[in-house]
Structure 1
Amino acid sequence: MGGLLLSALLLLLLLDQAFPPPSAPRYSPIVLAADGSVLHAYLNPTQKWRMKTELSEITPALQQAIINKEDRYFRYHFGVNPVAIVQAAGRNIFRNGRTTGASTITMQVARLLEPKERTFGNKLLEMLRATQLEAHYSKAEILQLYLNLVPYGGNIEGVKSAALLYFQQPPDYLSLAQTVTLAIIPNQPRVLVLGKNNDRILAERNRWLRQFQRQHLFPDQDIADALNEPLDVQRHAAPTLAPHLARRLVSQFPSQAIIHSTLRRSPQAKAEDLTRNYVRRLHELGISQAAVLVVNNRTRAVEAYVGSADFQDAASSGQVDGVRAIRSPGSTLKPFLYALAVDRGIVTPKLKLPDVPTNFSGFRPENFDKSCDGEVTVERALTYSLNIPAVRVLADVGVPVFTDKLRLAGFKSVAKAAPRLGLSTILGGCGATLEELTGLYAALADGGEYSPLVLHEEFRAERKGQLIKVEALKAQPKTPSSNPSLFSPAAAFLITDILAQRTRPDLPMGYQNSRHLPKIAWKTGTSYGRRDAWSIGYNQDYTIGVWVGNFSGQGSPALTGADVASPLLFDLFNTLAYNSPNNWAVPPATLDFRLVCAETGLVPGEHCPNQLIDYYLPGTSTARRCEHQKEALVSADGTICYCRACVPAVGFKRQLFLNPLPEVLAFRESQGLPSSRLPPHNPACRLVRNTDGGAGAALAITSPLDHAEYVLDRHDKQQMLLSCAAGSEVRQVYWYVNDRFLRAALATERVFFRPPSGAVKISCADDHGRNVDIQLQVQEL
């Protein structure tokens, strides 16, 4: 007997291996919000709405209604109910009552998984499959499969699809009346069509509610409330929020039926509406698109993701994902350059930088408004987004150092192009996405600590037979130890303090005295040709990035960060983060105060009467002393100056002269601004005129450009300009061409000459013995 049982068991196992259970159904991919609500849903590969109902969504009321209606002994049989089969056979043979098939819920699952013509042979196969399913899956999983496969008319299958498309709620949010409504339709999906046969469905629903009342399945009060609930329902469109992110995640996880995103439903809906309505107002300006990203600074979870103003707008390429589009970042990278310069001791907020036309080895940047200020503080250079000071700071920091930090922050285009990038990088001469930039600003809001943005919950999958149970892990606050630090908390605080200033040109019109101005730090950017407008801002809780432009790359005269991107940024902050605590960054303990010269921002020297307070990093920030004024020994009438070797015993005086950088002095003189130079050195002095120890700034040729190639028309009388930048002590310079003397000139004089063809060496010497050479190539055509 035992051998017979063993043989039978082995036979069943072999049959199970030879004929495995049917594969799990192919579900409609759905993307959920952080709270579990459905943001976006897609048809499954067979063009059906079959959204997977999770076990947690099967409420006790739904279980009781389905089981009592379809298979009262579901929890006790092994796939087949022998008593029901005998009763059904008797009714069918003797025509006593309604003809039935005695199908259990498990048998119905077997039929739904493998639809076949209803015959006696196929009914036996259903019974065998039902027994097999019971051996492989738990009762809860079988009920889940049933609720995911039951038909609701048309291309709607599964209780979750029906709940969302008809009641716009997930199954676990339905009332008892709605739950019973969905329980009765699968038996007659072609007759009981929601939205079309509501009266008939209402009557059938109430009949079953009264039957459940007689069975004491639900409390009497709940039944009474359900009987009084009207049935006014129609079919709705599937949820379509966050279409760009939904498509991205479904493509990233093609095998997942349910994808848990980090988005929050309300902020997402508000961000989409704000963006769509805002861009509509920009159409007349030739601007058709915008993209928005909202990030929680504490978890780096993306809470709103708007890839375009309107996904359905084919004329404006609405299906392009602006969050991931590679664009020129304009000036949006400048805060991070200054943060690196702070950490390297190169700058402090009050330090003054030259803002004059400058040639950086052939690269001559210009400010946005084509003007220069001579000298500006670091904080003004950043708030006014000046280009020339930024390029100068990048030259000091080093392009490789800067691009390496961007690579650490996930800038993929920069990482690929790093060997080819130069000083123009800081002005938008590289590629970046809104996602990369927003993540970088979130690091600035978090003390310089970078962490990748989180778009979806991580998945843990455990395979059981043909089914996969997926558990979503909630986004947790980042772990600081695992994240790279891009710059120090001190540098992050200083840059944030600067970017939070309100007195700046990129404050949108109408916000100067508005009570709706949010407490944020922000930076704007505009790409070359006015093709991209950026505005990215943050407070302690959120970082919001905004891009405005055209996906075609077409520019617009109105397309600037301040004019078209910042208004949307401020509206988003006022709408999405209006109740955020008004906390603000506090200075870290590594920062301290010191007095600096108001003229230069350096540690005060001997002649610095005007001083102010500035932040600095002890042991890191430059301790160079200010020499903006230079004391000189001059004759009583001020016509000549003396060195210490030729100063007379009497008849001289000590006088202070401004001592700016040569390029700043040359700029001031070219603009007709007040400036002064030392009088000529005592002609009777027999010593070398640089006996003062070489004080003064170096000599530099500003025109022509070093290592440049010039093409001249041989039939034209074109001439080349010679100009230099020299210290205030220089009165006269001497020009040489190919080591042959050309002429003497005043230090500020512009000299013109016709150069020879070929390689040309230009030399300039000043009256203090300094000399500088450049090389260039001249071609005549």
Structure 2
Amino acid sequence: MKRHFKKYKYYWIGGIVVLLVAYSLILPSKLFSDPYSTVLTAADGQLLSASVAPDGQWRFPALDSVPDKYATAVTYFEDESFYWHPGVNPFSMVRATWQNINAGHVVSGGSTITMQVMRLSRKDKPRSIWEKVIEMVLATRLELKYSKEEILAIYASHAPYGGNVVGLRAATWRYFNREPDELSWGEAALLAVLPNSPALIHPGRNRDDLEGKRNRLLQKLRDGGIIDELTCSLAMAEPIPEEPLPLPQKAPHLLTRAINDGKAQQNLNTTINTGLQNRVSQILQTHYRHLKGNEVHNAAALVADVRTGQVLAYVGNVSMAGASHDSQVDVINAPRSTGSILKPFLYAAMMDEGQLLPKMLVPDVPVFFSGFAPKNFSKTYDGAVPADRALARSLNVPAVQLLRQYRYEKFHSLLKELGMTTLTHSPDHYGLSLALGGAEGTLWDISGMYAGLSRTLGNFYEHTDSYKYATNNFMPLTYIEEQREGKRTKSGELSAASIYHTLTAMLEVYRPVDEGPWQLFESSQKIAWKTGTSFGYRDAWAVGTTADYVVGVWVGNADGEGRPGLTGVEAAAPIMFDIFDLLPKTEWFKAPSSEMVTLPICRVSGYQASEACPVVDQVEVLSAGQNLSPCPFHHRIHLDHNGYRVNSNCESVNNMEHVSWFVLPPVQEYYYRSNNPSYKKLPPFRSDCVAEEGGRQAMEIIYPKANAEIFIPREIDSRPGSAVLEVAHRRPETTIYWHLNDQYLGETKRIHQMSINPGAGDYTLTIVDEAGETLTRHFKVISE
């Protein structure tokens, strides 16, 4: 034998090496390839929502460990020697073989828990002696790779628990509506015996057999000193669960989003606050009962922490609406027309570049830009309005005028830089309508952008002679607990000072009627907020922010149907304020004085004060605002003792009264005067004086705009329709003479309007007032 071994020793050694290599490689690198459910848990660990696995099974992602009660119960029932055997228990195998021989059929398998893991991994191949040998070999290999605790967790995660329930965590939720570590001894014992006979859990089938198996295990635990007599009795008295329970669906739209975001078949620990999520959902349900009376069936709300960008509540739609009204659609992530919700970013950008001061008058008069004629929601005009009031009142015409000055190409680029991902077309595609809802945005992006405004102020650090910003002011929101680097705006892209003035203006937005005189309530907190209403009343927005929280709300119909009265103020804002009432109150921002300078500001015009401004305030404004020209509306004029304007050609300087007078351009004056009774028209010159207007024209054409194309429709009775031309004059009582293509049309006094229907063609309008001032305007009529 010795000579034989020496002769073939290399073959023996080679064979042993081959066997060792084969043994080391015999265990699959991935034991289970089964698909899993997608599971969302809240920040506190509570289950929010879960989806069934792609193969129709409730199979939660594998556990890292199992609770002590279950571990004790399952090892007592399945494998008492689990913690000391190497994967195979020879004594159990001998005992099982003896029992099977005596019974004449298989009554015991003698498999350890480790062997059962391999049987589950191999998809329950036919039970044979050869298969048993394979399981034994693989079990020993499994013991070398994993700890006992890991093997137990693998078994618990993939064992069958009846019907389409696989794995311990899915079973605890389907049968007991709780997490595995919350199981009682009776529940732990039930789930320990169930994989041995999973069919027993079916309602109405073998309930007594299942209860008997559970109780025998509980008695065994009692006899082993694991539980006392009272605990055993109470556990045995627990009822056997009936039909499987539905899983929580507290964030179904976030679950769908996570799957679409490529996070399927994972256990996702989200940033959601369970209590807040439930209450926000209840608020939406409450408001839906009112909204559905107007055939408005969808609403969504989002709450996020400003500092971290973590989403605290995510309600993508109203579940009460039902599938027939698209309740399954996640509106938070759906592109919708933005209405006026983007205006604050324009105002901040213009202040940041020194093109605007907070209370500077901006024009609010009818305008017409190459086929685009924006109108205010009220269909009225103020003539001129302070910038902060224009923002607070969400006036459309001033916003378009400012965007024209700022350039829509720059605004398009800025919005993308701040996090708006839905601007997929070129700037020319949107044009000036970008400020009024001409683009689509998502509640997710826009809420994140508003959070970025507050975060910039919150992250602003002041020093004695300098200032700096944090590195993550504008970044996407997140709903997953994870470390991430936020997106950073370019240095100075939106300064803290420009944002401070913008948010301050947004404090004054008119709140819904139900809020009443909110400033009088001591508990009221400062909220910078903005609403938006899309064309056709299809989308109602409200987004508000404090130093700590941002709340975004959208209301409308997911299918795009518009409804009368569906506005941001009436439909979305009340929901937003109800949600803010759930949140802790927060202190308002401190002014970033490092970025500001104190300038003399004309109280009436909001410009830097000129020598002619009668009332001047010292105001902290952006440093860039120093570059703006002085007030253009206040002028020094000279009056005689009767109040007529005079000059040195007709009156001695010693007899003149030199006064400051507020003078707007004619069209602005025309509308401003009707809204401001205190506005005084510029006095006329005394008859013996030659007028010196100083470059200020006395009249201006309101309609048509330069080079406009006018379509004149027919009336209902098919008669030719007409267009009404309109002129503003500083002295309405002045007579104006109208000419069209050198043909005299007539004259007007006080109300300077002229109705025409000249037919299609190119025309030149000429108007002359009684003082000889002349204006011309070219336009085209394209109707017959």
TM category (shorter chain) comes to 0.7 to 0.9
Distance 1:23 1:361 in 2: 65
Aligned-residue offset at 1:728: 8.0
- Contact 2:26/2:138 (CA < 8 Å) preserved in 1? no
| Residues 109-148 of structure 1: pairs in structure 2 closer than 5 A | 109-113=117-121, 114-134=123-143, 137-148=146-157
Other-structure match for 2:663:
659
Other-structure match for 1:462:
none
Aligned-residue offset at 1:598: 2.3
Aligned-residue offset at 1:549: 1.2
Aligned-residue offset at 1:756: 8.4
Instruction: String of CA shifts for 1:284-342, please: whole Å, max 9, x gaps.
Output: 12211111111111211112111110177111111111112221122211222211122
Aligned-residue offset at 1:54: 1.7
Going from structure 1 to structure 2, the CA distance change for 1:480 and 1:420 (only over 3 Å counts) comes to closer
Other-structure match for 1:545:
552
Instruction: String of CA shifts for 1:495-545, please: whole Å, max 9, x gaps.
Output: 22222237x254545574667755422222222222221111122222111
| Residues 364-513 of structure 1: pairs in structure 2 closer than 5 A | 364-447=373-456, 449-457=473-481, 474-475=482-483, 487-501=494-508, 504=510, 506=512, 508-509=514-515, 512=518
Going from structure 1 to structure 2, the CA distance change for 1:128 and 1:723 (only over 3 Å counts) comes to same
Distance 1:297 1:519 in 2: 15
| Residues 579-590 of structure 1: pairs in structure 2 closer than 5 A | 580-589=584-593, 590=595
Other-structure match for 2:706:
706
| Residues 121-520 of structure 1: pairs in structure 2 closer than 5 A | 121-134=130-143, 137-191=146-200, 204-216=213-225, 218=226, 224-225=230-231, 227-229=233-235, 230-232=237-239, 233-234=241-242, 235-253=244-262, 256-310=265-319, 313-360=322-369, 362-447=371-456, 449-457=473-481, 474-475=482-483, 487-501=494-508, 504=510, 506=512, 508-509=514-515, 512=518, 517=524, 519-520=526-527
Distance 1:23 1:483 in 2: 48
Going from structure 1 to structure 2, the CA distance change for 1:208 and 1:671 (only over 3 Å counts) comes to closer
Q: Secondary structure at the match of 2:456?
A: coil
Tell me, which stretches of 5 or more residues in structure 2 are unaligned? 1-8, 458-472
Q: Secondary structure at the match of 1:294?
A: strand
Distance 1:734 1:273 in 2: 65
Distance 2:338 2:487 in 1: 28
Instruction: String of CA shifts for 1:219-255, please: whole Å, max 9, x gaps.
Output: x56x744543441444311222211111121233366
- Contact 1:354/1:389 (CA < 8 Å) preserved in 2? yes
Does 1:626 find its partner at 2:631? yes
Distance 1:484 1:310 in 2: 43
Other-structure match for 2:68:
60
Going from structure 1 to structure 2, the CA distance change for 1:102 and 1:751 (only over 3 Å counts) comes to closer
Does 1:107 find its partner at 2:112? no
Instruction: String of CA shifts for 1:339-394, please: whole Å, max 9, x gaps.
Output: 11221223333222233333345533222122223332222222222222222222
Tell me, which stretches of 5 or more residues in structure 1 are unaligned? 458-473
Does 1:81 find its partner at 2:105? no
- Contact 1:759/1:778 (CA < 8 Å) preserved in 2? yes
Distance 2:37 2:511 in 1: 50
Code of the residue aligned with 1:663 in structure 2: it is: V
Partner residue of 2:577 out of 559, 563, 570: 570
Partner residue of 1:555 out of 553, 559, 562: 562
Distance 1:300 1:202 in 2: 50
Going from structure 1 to structure 2, the CA distance change for 1:508 and 1:529 (only over 3 Å counts) comes to farther
**Root mean square deviation, CA, Å:** 3.9
> Which deviates more from structure 2 when the two are superposed, residues 602-611 or residues 263-272?
602-611
Going from structure 1 to structure 2, the CA distance change for 1:508 and 1:485 (only over 3 Å counts) comes to farther
Distance 1:625 1:202 in 2: 89
Going from structure 1 to structure 2, the CA distance change for 1:711 and 1:89 (only over 3 Å counts) comes to closer
- Contact 1:206/1:227 (CA < 8 Å) preserved in 2? no
Going from structure 1 to structure 2, the CA distance change for 1:276 and 1:485 (only over 3 Å counts) comes to farther
Instruction: String of CA shifts for 1:135-186, please: whole Å, max 9, x gaps.
Output: 5544443322211122222221211111111222221232344323322222
Other-structure match for 2:603:
598
- Contact 1:725/1:747 (CA < 8 Å) preserved in 2? no
Instruction: String of CA shifts for 1:79-115, please: whole Å, max 9, x gaps.
Output: 3222322232233335599942210112111222221
Distance 1:95 1:315 in 2: 60
Instruction: String of CA shifts for 1:19-66, please: whole Å, max 9, x gaps.
Output: 94654332222222223332222222332222134214x123433332
Aligned-residue offset at 1:720: 6.2
Q: Secondary structure at the match of 1:64?
A: helix
Going from structure 1 to structure 2, the CA distance change for 1:32 and 1:505 (only over 3 Å counts) comes to closer
Other-structure match for 1:775:
778
Normalised by the length of structure 2, the TM-score is 0.84
Between the aligned residues of both structures, percent identity stands at 31
Q: Secondary structure at the match of 2:391?
A: helix
Normalised by the length of structure 1, the TM-score is 0.85
- Contact 2:417/2:489 (CA < 8 Å) preserved in 1? no
Distance 2:387 2:749 in 1: 33
Going from structure 1 to structure 2, the CA distance change for 1:336 and 1:779 (only over 3 Å counts) comes to closer
Code of the residue aligned with 1:701 in structure 2: it is: I
> Which deviates more from structure 2 when the two are superposed, residues 63-72 or residues 109-118?
63-72
Distance 2:638 2:399 in 1: 37
> Which deviates more from structure 2 when the two are superposed, residues 384-393 or residues 648-657?
648-657
Code of the residue aligned with 1:630 in structure 2: it is: H
- Contact 1:387/1:427 (CA < 8 Å) preserved in 2? yes
Partner residue of 2:16 out of 4, 8, 11: 8
Going from structure 1 to structure 2, the CA distance change for 1:294 and 1:485 (only over 3 Å counts) comes to farther
Going from structure 1 to structure 2, the CA distance change for 1:480 and 1:307 (only over 3 Å counts) comes to closer
- Contact 1:640/1:682 (CA < 8 Å) preserved in 2? no
Distance 1:616 1:730 in 2: 41
Going from structure 1 to structure 2, the CA distance change for 1:732 and 1:597 (only over 3 Å counts) comes to farther
Going from structure 1 to structure 2, the CA distance change for 1:603 and 1:253 (only over 3 Å counts) comes to closer
Other-structure match for 2:613:
608
Q: Secondary structure at the match of 1:412?
A: coil
Distance 1:481 1:406 in 2: 13
Aligned residues: 750
- Contact 1:764/1:771 (CA < 8 Å) preserved in 2? yes
Distance 1:652 1:93 in 2: 130
Partner residue of 2:99 out of 91, 98, 104: 91
Aligned-residue offset at 1:431: 0.9
